[in-house]
Structure formats: C-alpha cells, structure tokens
Amino acid sequence: MGVPSDDVVLIQKGKKPGEPHVITVNCPDKHGLGCDICRIILDFGLYITKGDVSTDGIWCYMVFWVVPHSSSIFVRWPSLKNRLQSICPSCSVTFYLNDQTSHSAASPVYLLKFFCLDRKELLHDVTQVLCELELTIQKVKVTTTPDGRVLDLFFITDNMELLHTKERQDDTYKQLNAVLGESCISCELKLAGPEYECHHGILSLSPAVVEELFRSELSDKETRSQALSPDMTKLKKANVVVDNSLSPAHTLLQLHCVDHKGLFYDVLRTLKDCNIKIAYGRFSPTFNGYRDIDVFILQKDGKKIVGPDKQNGLCSRLKVEMLHPLRVIISNRGPDTELLVANPVELSGKGRPRVFYDVTLALKGLGICIFSAEIGRHSSSDREWEVYRFLLDENCRFLLSSMVARNQIVDRVRRMLMGCLGCNALIPHYIFMHLACILKESLL
C-alpha cells in the first residue's frame, strides 16, 4: 500500500530560466513534517514563493514553489530530493502505524581542523565550501594567533551520511585545499572525540547582553544596538487573527506580515513546538513585500483552539517569531568589539540553517575581518537559543567604537539574515555613513 518511493518527492523544473521549481511531497503524515521540509528547503538556499499543505492526519500532500535566494547559489536538486525523501515516513502503512514514533540515529560528528595563514574573507570562503558539500556546522571555534595565523575547529555532520568513506573525505579535502591554497599548513578530518563536548557547552553571557539580545521587542531608538533603520520599520507590523466560525472542526489562523527569508519555516516551527496540527495551509505569493498565510489547525487532542488565553498566547508567540526570528547586537567584550547573533532552537534540538554562512557573507561584503568566532547554546526565557559570537577585527574601514557604524553593521547583518531586498545596494550607503561618522567624531 502507499505510493512508490520514487514518487514520495517530485521536483519539477521551471519551464523557463528564473521560473520556480515545484516540489511535491506525497507521503504518510507525521507531526511537524511541514516544518522539517521547510527547514531543508531553507538549508539549500531556496526561497518559497508560495505553497499548499493538506493532510487528513494520516496522509499529507504538500506543494512548494521555490527559487534560489541568490543567483550565485548552486542547488544540487537530486541531493535535495534525497534529503526530503529521508525525512518522510515510510510509505508502508504497516510501518507508519507501528513505528511512527521511531527516530533515526543521530549523525556522527566530525572534527575538521586546519591551521593556516590568515587572510581576508577566509572564514566565509571555508563556510561556503562546507555548505556546498552539504556539511552542517554544529559548532565552531576560530582563533587568530598574534603572528597572523588561524586555527579553525569545525564540528560538522554530513547530510549525505557519507563522510566515513574515503571518497567523500578526499572530495572534502580537495574542495578545502582549493580555497586554502598554499596558505594551508595542516588540515585534518576525523571523528570528534571528547573535544566536541568541551566546545559543546553553554555560552556565558553578561546580564546586560542577555537582556538586550533576548528581549522580545524590536526598538526604533537609535541608542539601541538592535534599532531598525527607517526603511525596515515595517518589520514591526504583523497581524494574527483566530477564527472559529468558518469551520465546524478546525480553527482558522490568518497571518499577515512582511516577507522574509525562512518565514514559512518560522511559522511552521512555532506551530510544531506548540503541538499544533495543520489540516490545511495556503502560503500566498508576496504582495508589496507582505505575505498572507491561512492555516486550518487543531490542538494535539484534535479539538479547536478555544478560550482567549490559548488564542492570545498562540497569537503572541507567532508575532514574536514572525517579527523577530533572529537577534543581532554589537557589544563590548573587554577592549574588543563583539557581534552576537541568536536564534531559537527547535524543541527537537535543531538550530536555524545557514546563519553562520549569512553572517560571514555580510561581514565579508562590508570588508570586516573576524578575529575569532564560536557557536554555542544559551537558555533564556524558558527556551534554548543558538548563539553565534564574532570578535571583529578593529583594522577595517569601520570605526567600531562609533554607534552609527555599529548600527550600520547590525542593519546589514540583519538584512542578510532576513533576506531583505536591496542588501547589496547598501554598500555605498555604508561607506558614506562611515565617512560621515569619522568626520563627525574628528570635529568633537
């Protein structure tokens, strides 16, 4: 019974260059499957232009129209299909009924360690290679020595589950050597040992940083390190409406907010973590930069969501995740300037895809070098967060002690993470603001 495995996931290419590819998933249902699918789509650097989701609680049918976020992204469509198929429940009804709660074994963690001469944009270039090889960065520890060398530790997992083979390892070395070149002193790849747990701990953050990084509201005050630039204040606008009158069995949830990278993932991640079941959902195309999302939902017990407290709690949680899915601030860490980025971790323990890639790409575009970097976890507000810490090199064209320059860096990083249009066009504006900042402070 069921459908042939080759038909679980179908990917239909666009008829013309630039047209969306259509991803169709037809398989047994499981809680949070839509979230898992959107997470993989985001991990491949793809943008969902629209989508439809339908399930009767046993079988589901999903369709997503997708395009790459950037023309520079190379998508391995066969690999995407394999990744999507790997998370779909078996098409055997017997397996589905008896083993729907089973979990696959965790992927082994590998340590990639290389020692080389430092250069500009090195960290992002290595990160890009790992993304293209479908190697997920779990933790990282990057250190620059006083003599201009770097020791980088990347703890990675292989989405293709082939890193134990010599062929896969040789390909990884080949791609890395092409980036590191003659500057590479040593490069080693092996299964992670006790050192992974050593770097797997909870990050220690000051109370002031915790308060600023994890507060739920975005501020438009210029003194705040997370302040929004004027053209991005629309991020603060979102509507969530609950309606129980249109369906005798389901609650209708209507969402309207500004579009951003990973929006569908953020919405479905929130519903998954709140134990909300989706019976039907439609993700409409963007209009004037905004999205409309309509989903018919149920509680875990199969009942509608009634009662003001439950409805208001769900609406508030969704608004926070739609408006503020990522936190970005700059603070002082002793004499150094530190950029911090945080995103909520799913209850399953998974963090948001491509954050490290996007941050390093934004800093690369600004000409800012990274002195050191690390990834860790932090618990705040009764939830776990994934926190990225970057010590910025003072030897750049930005005066990092200036609040104006800091706000510009935060704004650029946020734009890259949120996928806001016009990011690349901002570079001349950043240079202008930086020069204005230097002139202003020199006159004081």
Ordered domains of the chain (ranges, CATH): 9-90+232-320 (3.30.70.260), 109-214+326-418 (3.30.70.260)
The CA–CA distances, whole Å, from 368 to 126, 228, 331, 337 equal 16, 21, 16, 12
What's the full length of the chain, in residues? 444
What mean pLDDT value characterizes the chain? 85
Interval 289-318 mean pLDDT:
94
DSSP string for 385-425: EEEEEEEEPSSSSS-TT-HHHHHHHHHHHHHHHHT-TTSGG
- Which of 4-8, 40-44, 236-240, 430-434 comes out lowest in average pLDDT? 430-434
Q: Summarize pLDDT for 357-379 with one digit per residue, the tens.
A: 999 999 999 989 888 898 989 99
**Residue found by looking up tokens 């510009």 in the block:** 408
331-344 pLDDT, tens per residue?
988 888 999 999 99
pLDDT at 200 over 90: no
pLDDT in tens, 135-155: 999 888 888 888 889 999 999
**What pLDDT is stored for residue 428 in this prediction?**
37
Whether residue 220 has pLDDT greater than 60: no
Residue type, 163: L
Chain CA centroid to CA 177, Å: 27
* Amino acid at residue number 333: R
State residue 144's pLDDT score.
85
In the chain, the percentage of residues whose pLDDT exceeds 70 is 83
pLDDT of residue 404: 86
69/168 Cα distance (integer angstroms)? 27
Q: Please indicate whether residue 384 or residue 97 has the higher confidence score (pLDDT).
A: 384
Q: Give the full edge-to-edge strand order of the sheet including 238-243.
A: 9-12, 21-28, 59-68, 46-55, 277-283, 290-298, 251-258, 238-243
The predicted model gives 392-404 an average pLDDT of: 80
* pLDDT reported for residue 237: 78
Confidence of residue 230 (pLDDT cuts 50, 70, 90): low
User: What does the pLDDT read at residue 226?
Assistant: 54
pLDDT digits over 23-75, tens only?
Answer: 999 999 999 999 999 999 999 999 999 999 999 989 999 999 999 988 778 89
Residue pLDDT, tens place only, 239-276 = 999 999 999 999 999 999 999 999 999 999 999 999 99
Note the pLDDT of residue 189. 95
List Cβ neighbours of 132 (8 Å cut-off, separation of 6 or more): 74, 175
Of 220 and 9, which is predicted with more confidence? 9
What's the pLDDT band for 228 if we cut at 50, 70, 90? Answer: low
Taking the model in full, what pTM does it have? 0.86
Find all residues with CB under 8 Å of 212, minimum gap 6, and list them: 224, 225, 226, 329, 331
Displacement of CA 69 from its chain's centroid (Å): 13
